[in-house]
Amino acid sequence: MPDPSARRPVVEMRGISKTYGPVKALTDADLTIHEGSIHGLVGANGAGKSTIIKVLAGIVRPTAGTIRVNGQEVTRLTPASVERLGVHFIHQDRLLVPTATVGEAIFLRHEPRIGPFLNHRAMNRQADALLKQYFDLTLPPGTLVRDLTTAQQKIVQITRALAQKARVLVLDEPTAALVKREVDSLFGVLRRLRDDGIAVVFISHYMSEIEELCDTVTVMRNGTVVDVVDPRETPIDRIVAMMINRDMTEMYPPRHATLGAPMLEVDGLTLDGAFRDIALQVRAGEIVGLTGLLGSGVKELVQCLFGLMRPDAGTIRIEGVAPALRTPIQAVSARIAMLPEDRRAHGVALGLSVAENVSLASLSRYSRGGLVSRQREAEVVDGLIRELSIKTPTRTNLVRNLSGGNQQKVAIAKWLSCQSRVYILDEPTVAVDVGAKVEIYTLLNRLAAEGAAILLMSSELEELVGMCDRTLVVYRGAITHEFARDDVDTDRILAAASGAQTTRRREMA
């Protein structure tokens, strides 16, 4: 890796502060980015990462501080002016026009023209050349954006910035929706760009990615910069401890499970082409892990449990009763809750307020004669905001303005408002920072202690080991292994998920 300190600084932010009334979002924060380096930016919810990046993007005006780009002090930044300075942002939401072609997406607002007319031939030729130059990739320029994979859309975003002579790329959670192979490919691209002298700011909740990719890491907490470290010399556990001001050994709260009667029972569940003869049980007070590789059938299984897909055979019982579960509405009536992996698309309504999201699935609790009691609704919502420590100015704040961790808490609050008894969680901490993870884990333990049954589907093996009383592994459409909490580690789960053995067996202490 290159030594970033030997490179020229291309962005220097000094003494940046930002207040919103009495709230201090940033206090005297510094951020320096060098050319030809990959600079990680990490911190828990409310640490100030988003605010300092919005200041650099010209979206938020700082209360105090100075900003230099390419050695020149700049004031009154706007999104357009910062792009003219060579600083471009690759957002977590891809922000591409679905019906645009690859060429049109890359050259949007900068299209080559012949007089007043777009020169599509030149646009496609230049798009193809850029993709081959930077990514060694052939992607037909006439392909529609909606027909691309998530990884390909990310590449189109980066190519658009490079087409405008970007010297600094700021990537916000770029791997959140990518599989491992796509992540590896993206990292190869970022390393090549670094070697070409481009500066990359990499924001991620995945600490293993920070360790693998970044040359330098700025650690933030409570609106200030705690330290700037070299991840090759500073253990990730130490970086996490700086982020959350606690030791990593406290990551997974201790569990003292008291199990009750079976809440969720599945027998002989089959969906042709996805899984077959699935049998599982989750008791009151129990957290059961569920995992499997891509294509194992585990995704389809949890969708059947919530009425999103219809199985071809088998039964599902809730507290001993087999309700109709042909639709999500019927699942909710059976007091089943589901947190989907893509919370922004399916877990919350971004354009609605916190209060509207929380009460969305339980309006009947606040209604009488068709009229909603807003006072009763507000009391419940405010109670859940306090209980889950949702960081929002008011209950009327739009969910789109919250951090990922707080959006996930809103999704959980929606089901708490429904007084759900069975929770099906699909990657509940994906793209959530470490501090918010601890809060979610604590909440899950509390729900279990109150008698809820929790089925936790996760690809984070450490999460399964740290949180679950039992872990079930799905391989090629069948549950092949069941591990007890006292007799499991990540290596054994991975071996089972990869098909090291294909006969289901109980591995109990």
DSSP, residue by residue, 309-325: S--SEEEEEETTB----
The count of residues in the chain is 509
The whole-number pLDDT of residue 185 equals 84
The whole-number pLDDT of residue 508 equals 36
Q: Which residue has the higher pLDDT, 234 or 248?
A: 234
For residues 426-449, average pLDDT:
84
The pLDDT tens digits of the residues spanning 114-126 come to 888 889 899 999 9
The whole-number pLDDT of residue 184 equals 86
For 72-76, 334-338, 366-370, which range has the lowest pLDDT when averaged over its residues? 366-370
Average pLDDT, the chain: 87
Tokens of 117: 């007319």
How do the domains of the chain map onto residue ranges? 4-245, 251-335+421-509, 347-419
Does CATH number 3.40.50.300 belong to domain 4-245?
A: yes
The pLDDT tens digits of the residues spanning 187-231 come to 988 999 999 999 999 998 778 889 999 999 999 988 899 999 999
Is residue 2 scored above 60 in pLDDT? no
**Three-class SS of 226-294:** EEEECCCCCCHHHHHHHHHCCCHHHCCCCCCCCCCCEEEEEEEEEECCCEEEEEEEEECCCEEEEECCC
Tokens of 316: 């599902």
The whole-number pLDDT of residue 507 equals 42
Superfamily for 251-335+421-509? P-loop containing nucleotide triphosphate hydrolases (3.40.50.300)
The pLDDT tens digits of the residues spanning 36-73 come to 999 999 987 678 898 999 999 999 999 999 999 999 99
